[in-house]
A and B are shown apart, each in its own frame.
Chain A
Amino acid sequence: MNKVKEHPGDTVAAERKSPSIGVSVRAYAERVRGGDMGALPAVLGLIVLCTVFSIARPAFLTPINFANLFTQGAAITVIAMGLVFVLLVGEIDLSAGFASGVCAAVLAVTLTNLGLPWYVCVLAAILTGVVIGIVLGVLVAKVGIPSFVVTLAAFLAFQGLVLVLVREGTNISIRDDVIVAIATRNLPPWLGWVLFAACVAAYAGIQLFRARKRAARGLTADAMSLIVARVGALAVIGGLAVWVLNLERSRNPVLTSLTGVPIVVPIILVLLVFWTFVLHRTAYGRHIYAVGGNPEAARRAGIPVDRIKVSVFVICSSMAAVGGIMAASRAASVDPNTGGSSVLLYAVGAAVIGGTSLFGGKGRVLDAVMGGAVVAVIENGMGLMGYGASVKYLVTGSVLLLAAGVDAIARKRASAAGLR
Chain B
Amino acid sequence: MTPLLEVRGIDKSFGPVQVLHDVSFSAYAGEVTALVGDNGAGKSTLVKCIGGTYPIDSGEMLFEGKPVQVNGPRDAAALGIEIVYQDLALCDNLDIVQNMFLGRERRRGIMLDEAAMEEQAQETLTGLSVRTVKSIRQQVSSLSGGQRQTVAIAKAVLWNSKVVILDEPTAALGVAQTAQVLELVRTLADKGLAVVLISHNMNDVFAVSDRIAALYLGRMAAQVRTADVTHAQVVELITSGRSGDLGITQ
| Contact surface of A with B, Cβ cutoff 8 Å | 7, 9-12, 15, 213-214, 217, 219-220, 281-283, 286-287, 289-290, 292-294, 296-298, 300-303, 361-362, 414, 418-420
Number of A-B contacts (CB under 8 A): 91
Is A292 within 8 A of B89, CB to CB? no
User: Smallest Cβ distance from A363 to chain B, in angstroms?
Assistant: 10
Known A219-B118, A303-B102; judge A294-B92 contact (CB<8 A): yes
Residues of B within 8 A of A289 (CB): 91, 93-94, 98
Is B133 within 8 A of A213, CB to CB? no
* SS class, residues of chain B in contact with chain A: loop
Q: What's the Cα separation between A10 and B127 when bound, in Å?
A: 10
Is A301 within 8 A of B118, CB to CB? no
Q: What is the chain B residue whose CB lies nearest that of A363?
A: B93
Query: Which of the residues A213, A297, A418 comes within 8 Å of B142, measured between beta carbons?
Result: A418
Which of A9, A214, A219, A297 has the most CB atoms of chain B within a 10 A radius of its CB? A297
Verify if B135 is at the interface (C-beta below 8 Å from A): yes
The 6 A-B residue pairs with the shortest CB-CB distance in the complex, in nearest-first order: A301-B103, A293-B91, A293-B93, A361-B93, A297-B89, A301-B102
Verify if B122 is at the interface (C-beta below 8 Å from A): yes
Is B136 within 8 A of A12, CB to CB? yes
Is B119 within 8 A of A217, CB to CB? yes
Is A281 within 8 A of B112, CB to CB? yes
Query: Which of the residues A213, A219, A290, A420 comes within 8 Å of B102, measured between beta carbons?
Result: A290
User: Smallest Cβ distance from A223 to chain B, in angstroms?
Assistant: 15
Verify if B110 is at the interface (C-beta below 8 Å from A): yes
Q: What's the Cα separation between A414 and B142 when bound, in Å?
A: 10
Residues of B within 8 A of A302 (CB): 74, 103-104
Residues of B within 8 A of A292 (CB): 93
Is B110 within 8 A of A282, CB to CB? yes
Q: What's the Cα separation between A361 and B94 when bound, in Å?
A: 9
What would be 28 A-B contacts, judged by CB atoms less than 8 Å apart? A9-B131, A12-B126, A12-B136, A281-B112, A282-B112, A283-B107, A286-B94, A286-B98, A286-B105, A289-B93, A293-B91, A293-B93, A293-B94, A294-B92, A297-B91, A297-B99, A298-B91, A298-B102, A301-B89, A301-B103, A301-B104, A303-B103, A361-B92, A362-B93, A414-B141, A418-B141, A418-B142, A419-B139
